[in-house]
Amino acid sequence: MRYSIARLARTFALAGFTWASGALAASTQSISLQCDPAQTTAKFTLGDSLHTVHGAFKVKRCDIRFDLASSKLEGEIVFDATSGESGNASRDRKMQKNVLESARYPEIAFRPGRLEGNVAPSGTSLVQVSGLFGIHGAEHEITVPVEVDLEADHWTASAHFPVPYVKWGMKNPSILFLRVGDTVTIDFQGTGGTKPDSP
């Protein structure tokens, strides 16, 4: 009889633990990913006939919600278009005025919609993220390969992808003896904290 009661008690305890684990998992199906502005950047690379131009944009705001069950993503990562710098003041003024028209279009944004692939519970995963890339007053559908490390309390991610800025309606800043490419390469590096999303 004692054995049966003890066994019954263990059964109830195991059932309670299983229920609690399930409830916890359900409550954390959606998480919020927030950027650390000091460690989140979008670097750009543009080749010309003489050398390669490198620069970067500063993040303005960032808040992403990730549903682990459906792999759906919501939110946005927004960069300040007026912050773009390449180390040459004259060239940067031309980029701001003639290419980005940043006085009129001050933000560059990525609004993710869906993630394809599996995110490992620990360590690095390679996934595909689809969404809308907004620049120069228009949004364009893109799919970006992203290397992501998602932990219990923080995340890091990196992505490398082309932006065909001329095809998307912006001017090529080439002059007579200096020709530049029609595509700029973006290298995104981001990191920040994670927390369960509010129900």
Averaged pLDDT of the chain:
84
pLDDT grade for 1, boundaries at 50, 70 and 90: very low
Domain ranges of the chain: 29-196
- 128: its two tokens: 């595909």
Per-residue pLDDT reduced to its tens digit, 141-196: 999 999 999 888 899 999 999 999 999 999 988 875 567 889 999 999 999 999 88
Residues 3-14: tens digit of each pLDDT: 444 453 444 333
Mean pLDDT is highest, among 46-55, 82-91, 119-128, for 82-91
Going by C-alpha positions, the residue among 24, 91, 17, 4 that lies closest to residue 51 is: 91
65/198 Cα distance (integer angstroms): 10
What CATH class does 29-196 carry?
A: mainly beta
53 vs 198: CA distance, rounded Å: 43
pTM: 0.80
- Reported for 50-54, long-range contacts at CB under 8 A and 24+ positions apart, including other chains, are 50/178, 53/86, 53/88, 53/91, 53/180, 54/86, 54/87
Question: Would you say 58 and 81 are in contact if contact means Cβ atoms under 8 Å apart?
Answer: no
